[in-house]
Structure 1
């Protein structure tokens, strides 16, 4: 850090300061003027550093909470101000904050003014909840989620629990690590929100809790770099588990959309049943107004029984009374759901990496170098010696990128053509008479195959690419730059000549040219000269002919047009 600080100062004239650490040796290595604001003795008990709204105790390396002490009036504005004064982005004190939101909704009747005194029937509950805020000053959450690093642990698993009631929906996640025979279970983060007032049954709310659990999983997977396959989910609703495991019946829109969202992130084998007594998320779906020690709630300490569990066998949960469930469509014949081909998922994972490239040439060269490295690794050659890329390797990289793009967007059409079946009528490329070439690339069929003497094969049968796709955008930008930022027709002609047929290409090219900075500069409106002030003689009142102008430069003939009497000249 010292070397970085000096380099930034000498080369960029940037001062790296406001440095804060819980290590005394780190702080002593820097000048006092570079320390964080309001930072005194690191060994002091009251050394609290604020970072993005969170309070960090440097001595104990824990997160703490600062509770506002000012009294607010018992009005809608006062209650809302008190509830919103608790900043908790990770969800440590969600059981308390959600209880305040529940009381706020119960205490404020519909139509009440912001500063109008509220009814007294709920003031005792509100006072009791306010008194429970005092326990927040005793909270000390360790900054480290585990006794060891996640990357160094023997096994790292994330267990996510969800629950719902008529008042609130909640989900909490816990990290279970095993290292050197020691197992620890620590709180990662939690989310809670109010349940809708009307129109939702308990199974619907429990399903919303399961959706909230998968949203937590997506965040944790990105931040901790833990694959989604290493996560387990728990709920105390067998109805929801039946929805997720269902393979025979269809749902109405509300349940269908949420089950689809859950299965995009998780699989049915990852979901397990847990009783309400063992569910730590259950403590966040009730209105708790008399909390004395939040550190003893299951929400914070987590389910300690996770330390003793072994590998759990996947369980299939049947639908609960499907004939009486209003969320399940009635049917006389069961419908079997077939799992999607795994190769499609693999293709999606590959094409997502293409989004990191903003230039077609760099993408192709990157794929070519990666392919060369893989060949060297298999042949056990010197992997540090990278040879220049040949034309054949660039051609292979082109084919690889195009095949992956087509496999992601036209997998149904490709499978139909391989099986010798006709394309579906609703296919977006059915009118192009597509076929697969020797490289298994989709190309346009058409009726000009006999023009081989005048046109190249790639112009006769161009490669089909999807619209609104990142690869299509990169190709349009590439050929647009190749024609020196000329218009749509030139760019489209260059694409067709190179052998590419992009669906909806005209509109995509126009959109990209519209957003092109160089084109906007070249095609901007001409600058206009600002007119000078009118001479004083023209605006000063006076007798007629006091100021007279004489045209001594004309007339100049600027145009000639034919009339009945001959040619006529217009002068200026």
Structure 2
């Protein structure tokens, strides 16, 4: 209803803008409450709404002359801008000199509510000045009269100060708006006015219809409009200074660039911190050494001597940065300090000036780098590059393998942690270490978890064949034999019986021997032969024992007479017989 009634006020030229702005502000506040179209207004807003609506009928008394001036006379456009915390306003008048006096007419006002985002009053005043600039541009394009002069007023000294300086001096918000204003209206046409003489003040705050009808400042402008321009209030010097906080906050402060030069004893340390490859770092240093030695002759590659010299320079630079005190003491043939981190390694300096680990294995016939590895600090960049290089050239080896490869030439303090950091931080190695999901197995049968006499519940499987001698003569006959493996389900104990063939009688004989030795089981478990279908040809005879129904039935009947229950696992389910399959594996492992 608020929006509907506000829209009924037909004012295309904005002549009653001080009244309409009250309804605009009211509508904005109702939107902030989150009200729907049909929701009632809060009590505070409802009282204001009723007060405004009760005053609207006074607008019927208002008469506004539409005639502006004589067509042959030049016209002056005079504009005012003002802003409050709730709205911005601009108003444009025309002044024509005719018949010894000045005729002042209201042409076009414009209002705009302040944004919901909090914004300072000087910025709102600047928005009002920009609104006035756009309004004057619109009036100039609409009128067909001759415009002789344009003068604009604002009561904000800060806005005038912003307009007096180049736009590039200010921050983005002020810079963009001042540039747009000065493109249309130059600074010489902007003046300061007191708030009491500013007609736009009532439009930025809003007044009721009864007050607007008799408000001559709105309809005719300030009283000095009727005087010649030299008699207008002088545009005195602004009282605001550049040190005002409201001005300083909008200045475009450029960040000061400070160059700090650090004195580095060894430039190789700075170079190593910018290179991510050990091999590339060596080649760069080798090129630098070639340049220093004035070997400018172009070559296809680097010699082994040049690369070796580059390695030595890099290693010496890292050691000199981390162990300079220890190196100085060793060069002066002094004893290391008792709190030195290298005292436990008995270090010495070799012929190339590289610090190495000492020891008592000088006469061992192995590589010199293995006997006396090069000492490096763990926080040096080249230590990280060396570990990374060893890890990559050895096909992304694991922690222990990479650690052993590094130790063959270098003794990095805290090397194991550094190796872990390199390997665990690489995406390729992380993806290789990920584990695959495994199937969650079912519950174990009661025979596996209930305590019982050994071999009371047992599993059965065959292993073989194996080749055996039938006699101890010089040329014995070689034959085949099989193992019948009985596994206790409770204790996982194994009982092995040797069989000469895979017949039913041979199995029953081995089973009787098993009972005589271990006691009669109550339950016997085995597979039903489907696990042997794809076995090798050498196991075909073993398959016959488990697959023929006649033999299996005969064995089962014999066991039933003995009071033994024979259970067959389901087909294609070898995991149910994992216990005796493990026993078969153990037998084969020891017979290799």
Q: TM-score, normalised by structure 1?
A: 0.41
Whichever of the two has the greater Rg, that structure is 2
Q: TM-score, normalised by structure 2?
A: 0.40
- Relative to its length, the structure with more helix (as a share) is 2
